[in-house]
Structure 1
Amino acid sequence: MATEDTSTSNVVEFDALIIGGGVSGVSAAYHLQKTCPSLKFCILEARKNMGGTWDLFDYPGLRSDSDMYTFGFSFRPWASQTQSVIGTKQTILDYLHTVVKEFDLQKHVQFQCQVLNADWDSQEGNWTLTTSQKQNHDDSTTTVIYRARYLFSCTGYYNYEEGYTPEFPNRDAFPGPIIHPQHWPKDLDYKDKNIVVIGSGATAVTLIPSLTEGPHAASHVTMLQRSPTFMASRPSHMTILSRSILYWFGQDATRWFYILFGMFFYNICQSFPRALSEFLIDGVEHQIGSDKFKEDDWTPRYKPWDQRLCACPDGDFFKTIKSGKASVVTDHIVEFTEKGVRTEKNDVLPADIIITATGLKIHFFGGMNITLDQKPLDMPSRFIYKGFMMNGVPNFFVAGGYTNASWTLKIDLTMQAASDLINIMETKSYRYCQPELPKPGNEMEAVPSIDLTSGYIQRSKHLIPSQSTFYPWRLYQNYLYDKYSLQFQSLEDDTLKFSK
């Protein structure tokens, strides 16, 4: 067990601190280094490696659910010899490590450094971070204090320690492994086993084809869902059109093709939800065959893009269902038994292994305690400004991506804007800046900042900062609008308060 040495506390000074070494942290570091080269900064990463989510998750078949031309950074285009557009875990990690090496960012990283508290001191105009840092020579930890004027939170939005698992009645009666994909055992033997996967989201759709292929394939996999999810097949490699664009016009044009196509499809779904619902459901029936299609199993209760659309590269999930290697059951769980999972309408679904692909736990800012002059920050009462700051929180930049497109698209824009704002402050000798709400009498309506009906979002609405109904407090989920407002409009607007 690790022991903590609190006898001495080291104090380390930087100009800026970036919490998190995943996709968002790498983007923040690149833009800060490019825009403000004279500033001294450090990336504080709680894990042993860079990569964030992609270093943490390790379940079979793990891949991106966005095309890599938009998931890759604008400053380092995705390039693949195989012309793949869906990235696997390893190709994404290789890409991130290449970016880190190419821009010499590794020298700025402090690994195994968990941020516990972050406090803004108005008198000093600094953030003070209390961290628990592992030593290189053993498992002991020591408390290290970091100070900086600027703070980037690039921690993602969910709990890295555990995923969300509901309370299942009689759970202890099941003698076999019960596994959440967030912590996949490396030595799990599922060859010739019956597996029940609880859940129908992106994780389940990714897992099931992988569990049924290869020399270690399961005997049969049952996807047990409470309600269906919208799914769609998409090519895992470039189409003739996208290959032609790449050949004739290059990487930037290819990236714009995928950006605009994604925006087009999203807006079609929003404008014509009934027609698109029928289109997606008919597509499933076409893929799996009418003999295996049951309307109740494939007709969601929500409109397309009220939750993220599950992408099935080359229709792999549908092919697995069609082959009979996997099946779908729509039902409610009564209890676990010695033989598997008892449901309301289907008696016992036999299982040797149960996988709970039941979602994530929201955990903003890596679970650190944030205070302003030692007073706790009430997160739900705050409003998100332009997608990267919060009202009344000085020199604090938040990394948040799109819900309807690649995470990285928004991250690139907001981290560049944050770095540009810091450059303005440095040039004009401002000590801090913070967004301020409209004056009394112009109160804003508070609405959830993440507009999805997904269970993991709905369970955590009370923990999430709000947005409002008008700019700059509105998150429009629109890349073109954000690109214009963040890159071509002045960052020195009437909402930001600057102080020397």
Structure 2
Amino acid sequence: MPDTGTLTRPAPAASQQVEHFDVLIVGAGISGIGSAYHLQQQSPDKSFVILETMETFGGTWHTHRYPGIRSDSDLYTFGYRFKPWTGDPIASADKILNYMKEVIEENDLARHIRYGHKIVSADWSKEDALWTVRAVRADTGEELRFTTNFLWMCQGYYRHDQGYTPEWPDMDKFNGRIVHPQTWPEDLDLKGKKVIVIGSGATAATVVPAIAGDCEHVTLLQRTPTYFIPGRNENELANRLRELQIDENWIHEITRKEILHNQDLFTRRSFEEPEVVRKELLDAVKLFLPEDFVEKHFTPSYRPWRQRIAFVPDGDIFQGIASGKASVETDEIERFTEKGILLKSGKELEADIIITATGFHLSVLGDIAFSKDGEPIDFADTVTWRGMMFTGVPNMAWVFGYFRASWTLRVDLMGDFVCRLLNHMSSHQAKSVTIEIPEADKDMKRLPWIDPENFNPGYLMRSMHLLPKRGDKYEWQHTQDYWREKDELPQIDLDGPEFVYE
């Protein structure tokens, strides 16, 4: 991890004093830092603070310490549009943190960040048109209060301090150690050990090749297969442009546009010709592994893009399997044993260490206790507007990125939108804005946050009851369609009937 230096020192806060800011940003991860940049650039008259629970910036890239931790999408689009990415397309956590550190330093954002500040509640006062936010300092336990005109929620979407591990029978009988990647222990010694990694997503595909060289053997145990995209960890267009000594800003913009164009085409094809795309994905894996092996262990039953597809640089997990350092079992767990895991097929897998790369717990708006004039807000009773704001909840926006494209793309788009909204409110002397369903849309159906036929990862399905509803009309959904939103969000009429100003 990079040396974050003085960036980890919390800015001072006066004891027993209520501090006021025009905007309060929740979280100093990839969303919070990007949002702060846009706010500083586009609404320079607004005072703001970033409250971060952790002791430093980075969010996911700070809390995840498991071996091989890397992005599962390219950094030309995961990086911000305003700062060129110059490294490998798929990058390790330390390189992403260094990139974020440069953004903070280059834009003097450190002075706005309060680390070790855990928000416990936020109450909206209609009379004052203000949010009152209560936070607790990690170092002293002191409770602090802030007031703000606008809450910009950038805290991510899962609980950083606790991963999701299912409750399998007899887990307590296992004589070895059970570890979740999200809370990877520093003292874990894998040398010469038999290891089972349970899971089939990007985390499992990252951990297995990263530890294969240290273990006696590592087995990937999955209930069902997942799609992957193996490929070289380089961008030929960017390399060629660098050979021509093109300015890095131009390289970033051109490469970014090509990747986005190709992603748009791939996503549309996954819906329009899913069997063709399916064959292309499986054929890529067959370059590393025998056809019958791919049919058994890497052929999902669902169409492409119903769950996230991770990029596997240089096909490293498939190379590890081909070399014999790793193996795969596709089966269900009957129960744990003293020696390892008994599968429903009757086969027993022996292990010294079991790693549960089985997902995470969804966190709806940071698990903060929200209220309006003292009355609790249940976000499951609200309807989302474009996946950014919620009916009946004033002066608040939530950054929730894309499943089928880089998360940060939406950070940039929402940065433009929120700043435009804040500036619009100032020019009209409006103290609050609330999203309400116009009369013409009152009768639309209320549906779950995401259509499970569209996208259905386990962490969403387990927590759908906690999330806001969507409507059956486009504007009342988080559509996951960056390629449409990039054109539509800048054109939103801020005086439309869904915006209620006071």
Quote the Cα distance in structure 1 between the aligned partners of 2:333 and 2:474. Answer: 44
Give the conservation status (yes or no) of the 8 Å contact 1:447–1:466. yes
Residue 5 of structure 1 corresponds to which residue in structure 2? none
The answer to whether structure 1 residue 252 and structure 2 residue 253 are counterparts is yes
Correspondences of 1:136-285 after superposition (within 5 Å): 140-213=140-213, 217-239=214-236, 241-244=237-240, 247=244, 250-285=251-286
Which residue in the other structure is 1:39 paired with?
Answer: 46
Q: Is the 8 Å Cα contact of residues 245 and 254 (structure 1) preserved in structure 2?
A: no
1:25-46: CA deviations, max 9, x gaps? 0111111111211211100000
Aligned-residue offset at 1:392: 1.3
Distance in 1 between the 2:22 and 2:157 partners?
Answer: 25
Inter-partner Cα distance in structure 2 for 1:441 and 1:141: 47
Q: How does 1:79-94 map to 2 (within 5 A)?
A: 79-80=86-87, 84-94=88-98
Amino acid at match of 2:262: F
Give the corresponding residue for 1:50. Answer: 57
Equivalents in 1 of 2:301, 2:357: separation in Å? 19
One-letter identity of the residue aligned with 2:138: K
Q: Match for residue 434 of structure 2?
A: 434
* Structure 2 counterpart SS, 1:12: strand
Q: Secondary structure at the match of 1:160?
A: strand
RMSD: 1.6
1:159 Cα shift? 0.9
Provide, for residues 365-414 of structure 1, a one-character-per-residue CA deviation record: whole Å limited to 9, x for no partner: 11111111111112122222133211111110111100100000011101
What is the alpha-carbon distance in structure 1 between the residues aligned to residue 61 and residue 115 of structure 2? 16
Q: TM-score, normalised by structure 1?
A: 0.93
| Per-residue deviation, residues 240-299 of structure 1 (Å, max 9, x unmatched) | x443356565321111111111111111111111222222223222321247x1523222
Alpha-carbon distance in 1 for matches of 2:74, 2:297: 27
Higher mean displacement: 353-362 or 279-288: 279-288
What is the CA distance between 1:9 and its match in structure 2?
A: 4.0
Q: Which ranges in structure 1 are unaligned for 5 or more consecutive residues?
A: 1-7
- 1:463 partner letter: L
Decide whether the 8 Å contact of 2:288 with 2:318 is kept in 1: yes
Match of 2:76 among 64, 69, 77: 69
- Partners in 2 of 1:181 and 1:369 — Cα distance? 28
Q: SS at 1:335's partner residue?
A: strand
Instruction: Give the AA of the match of 2:223.
Output: R
1:486 aligns with 2:483: no
- Asked if 1 retains the 8 angstrom alpha-carbon contact of 2:285 and 2:294, the reply is no
* 295-304 or 184-193: bigger deviation: 295-304
Q: State the distance in 2 between where 1:491 and 1:481 align.
A: 18
- The offset of 1:86, in angstroms, is 0.6
User: Residue 37 of structure 2 aligns to a residue in which SS?
Assistant: helix
Task: Give me the whole-angstrom Cα distance separating, in 2, the residues matched to 1:386 and 1:462.
Answer: 19
| TM-score, scaled to structure 2 | 0.92
CA distance in 2 between counterparts of 1:118 and 1:171 reads 39
Aligned AA (2:303): K
Cα shift at 1:461: 0.5
Partner of 1:18: 25
Distance (Å, rounded) in 1 between the aligned partners of 2:450 and 2:98: 30
For 1:482 and 1:294, the matched residues in 2 are separated by 36
Report if aligned partners of 1:120, 1:372 keep a CA contact under 8 Å in 2. yes
**8 A Cα contact 1:399 1:415, kept in partner:** no
The whole-number CA distance in structure 2 between the counterparts of 1:95 and 1:335 is 44
User: For 1:306-340, what per-residue CA distance to the aligned partner results, in whole angstroms no more than 9, with x for missing partners?
Assistant: 00012211111110111111111111111111211
Aligned residue for 1:161, secondary structure, equals strand
Q: What secondary structure does 1:14 align onto? A: strand
**CA-CA distance at 1:15 after TM superposition:** 1.1
Q: Do the aligned partners of residues 441 and 146 (structure 1) sit closer, same or farther apart at CA in structure 2, a change above 3 Å counting?
A: closer
Amino acid at match of 2:393: V
Deviates more, 1:475-484 or 1:98-107: 475-484
Distance between the aligned counterparts of 2:75 and 2:160, measured in 1? Answer: 24
Contact 1:403 / 1:450 at 8 angstroms: preserved in 2?
A: no
Number of equivalenced pairs: 480
Partner-residue secondary structure (3-state), 1:162: strand
Other-structure match for 1:4:
none
For residue 200 of structure 1, report the CA deviation from its aligned partner.
0.7
Cα distance between partner residues in 2 of 1:149 and 1:341: 53
Aligned match for 2:135, one of 110, 121, 131: 131
The corresponding residue for 1:95 is 99
Distance 2:414 2:387 in 1: 7
SS at match of 2:33: helix
Question: Residue type matched to 2:60 in 1?
Answer: T
Local SS of the residue matching 1:21: coil
SS in 1 for 2:175: coil
- Following the alignment from structure 1 to structure 2, what is the Cα–Cα distance between the partners of residues 141 and 418? 33
CA distance in 2, matches of 1:441, 1:329: 50
1:200-251 CA-to-partner distances (Å, cap 9, x unmatched) read 11100010000113xxx11111111111111120221112x44335656532
Partner of 1:423, secondary structure, is helix
Q: Residues of 2 paired with 1:366 and 1:62: CA distance? A: 23
CA distance, structure 2, for counterparts of residue 489 and residue 131 of structure 1: 34
Which residue of 33, 36, 56 corresponds with 1:29?
A: 36
Q: Partners in 2 of 1:435 and 1:442 — Cα distance? A: 13
Q: Which residue number in structure 1 is paired with residue 10 of structure 2?
A: none
Amino acid at match of 1:193: K
Matches within 5 A, 1:265-344: 265-290=266-291, 293=293, 295-344=295-344
Measured in 2, the distance between the counterparts of 1:251 and 1:441 equals: 41
Counterpart Cα distance in 1 of 2:192 and 2:61: 28
2:478 partner amino acid: L
